[in-house]
Amino acid sequence: MKKLTLLALLFAIQAMAQAPYKIAVVGLVHSHVWGHLNDMIKGKDVTLVGVAEPNPALQEEAVKAGVSKDLISADYKKMLANKKPDLIWAFVENNRHLEIVEFCAPRKINVIFEKPLASTYTDALKIQKLANQSGIKVMCNYQMAWWPANYTAKKVSDSGALGQIYRLHGVVGHGGPGSTGVRNGAFFA
């Protein structure tokens, strides 16, 4: 009986260790959210526990994308207080990044932003200080870093095929949201 209890306890501990993180989305104005939302909805690596966005048109877009209506809230502070996620992925205006960290840090909620980390150097330093003081992780997704061409360039560079590389200069990015409509219009409103 003791062996059976110990075995059950070990399975329970393993199951808890493998439980996906609870993630919430704060804001839908940054168009990159639409490329990531489906993976969050599927729940393979994370469990989507809430989406906060005050704009009704963007809320409706989230529902069209597959987010359950009961997960959508207009007020991110209330949503985070109720859902208690492990982390949030914020798709808000760049000048709101500090505001988000100021709210999440004392609640020990980790934060991911799309680039840039902050809209000013001063805000970046405040974000860094809040993260260090509270022990949370604040991450910035710079999606161009994951492009296959960058991996290829690194592989060629490491192979020595180009000789000694002294400097690399490039421009990556895009000219802004790729389409008009509800999903991209709010970012520049």
Average pLDDT over residues 109-133: 96
- Structure-model confidence comparison of residues 17 and 131, the more confident one: 131
- Structure-model confidence comparison of residues 32 and 74, the more confident one: 74
Determine the pLDDT at residue 31: 84
Domain containing residue 29: CATH number: 3.40.50.720
Determine the pLDDT at residue 32: 85
Q: Domain range for residue 162?
A: 2-188
pTM beyond 0.85, yes or no? no
With bands split at pLDDT 50, 70 and 90, how would you rate the model's confidence at 143? confident
Structural domains counted in the chain:
1
Determine the pLDDT at residue 120: 96
Q: pLDDT at residue 106 above 80?
A: yes
108: left (phi over 0), alpha (psi -120 to 50) or beta: left
Which three-class secondary structure string do you get for the chain?
CHHHHHHHHHHHHHHHHCCCEEEEEECCCCCCHHHHHHHHHHCCCEEEEEEECCCHHHHHHHHHCCCCHHHEECCHHHHHHHHCCCEEEECCCHHHHHHHHHHHHHHCCEEEEECCCCCCHHHHHHHHHHHHHHCCCEEEECHHHHCHHHHHHHHHHHHCCCCCCCCCCCCCCCCCCCCCCHHHHHHHC
